[in-house]
Amino acid sequence: MPRVQVRGRVRIHYREAGDVEPVVLLHGLGSSGRDWEYQIPAFAERHRVIVPDLRGSGDSDKPPGPYRIADYAADTWALLDKLGIAEANLVGLSMGGATAFEMAASRPERVRRLVVVNCPPSFAIDSPRKALEIGMRLAVVRCLGMDRMAAIVGRRLFPAPSQAELRSEFERRYATNDKRHYLWALRSLPGWQVLDRLERITCPALMVAAEHDYTPVAAKRAAVERLSDGHLAVIRDSRHGTPIDRPEEFNRVVLDFLAGRAPEPAPAENARAADARR
């Protein structure tokens, strides 16, 4: 698999498949480009798929931190520059969604379509629940290590008995994270926000929200209403790892959107019911 040197001599590892119109798939916290394995073949039938490992993750270089969402965005733009890609579609999950948001807000003229999955436009620590979530992760990793963190996250993302194989593979990959670099990546999220720059994003944008995600559907709906061409798709019976636990529906919704077909409006009452169950 190729690596490209970008900013600060950081080498970014990436996968590539297909051709024609570029689409970049950006992974979440503690993960890597391998988490898009259910998307790469399907997307490559219509697109040139670029799947990087963000700095500190997967097979990319792991320079000393701290890291920022802006670093991930700038690295990815530098990678696309090296590949000769002037414009691209962006698809990001969780922390990768924040990265996609940041890329679209910083260089809107280079983004054809934006898809943000299970990621609100702000990770401001503005409630006790959010502070507790960040504090819990920091404490678990520091005191108990990545194996324990992997088990906690795996059970949250794939709780059903039928998902045992998915959960086991996810935990195995998650546990391989270097503790220091995971903590640097985790600390890149609190305080990040794009709320004051949403008006800069003028391309068609799709917010994909899992019915049982732990980030509220309401926050994503509010962001959609502030985007100039925003859309919302709620994926039923899914949690935070939507591309993995509902790959067929996810692929259909996203590929349709990239082809110019907007999803049917998500009923507001469904979004409110999903938030109430959290």
Domain ranges of the chain: 3-123+193-277
Question: What's the pLDDT at 195?
Answer: 95
Phi, psi of 48 (to 5 degrees): -85, 110
Q: Is the dihedral of CA 168, 173, 178, 181 positive or negative?
A: negative
**24 by DSSP, 3-state: which?**
strand
- Token pair, residue 241, equals 């790892």
Quote the CA–CA distance of 65 and 151 in Å, as a whole number.
25
Model pLDDT for residues 222-274, shown as the tens digit of each residue: 999 999 999 999 999 999 999 999 999 999 999 999 999 988 776 654 444 44
Average pLDDT, the chain: 93
- Give the helix/strand (H/E) hosting 14: strand 11-17
Token digits of residue 134: 């960040």
Nearest-10 Cα torsion for 262, 265, 270, 274: 40
Q: What is the pLDDT of residue 21?
A: 95
User: Which bin fits 233, alpha (ψ -120 to 50), beta or left (φ > 0)?
Assistant: beta
Cβ contacts of 102 within 8 Å, gap of 6 or more: 69, 70, 72, 73, 192, 194
Peptide bond before residue 64 is cis, with ω within 30 degrees of 0? no
Residues 52/60, Cβ–Cβ less than 8 Å: yes
Below-70 pLDDT ranges, the chain: 1, 266-278
Global pTM? 0.93
pLDDT for residue 263: 86
Which CATH number is 3-123+193-277 given? 3.40.50.1820
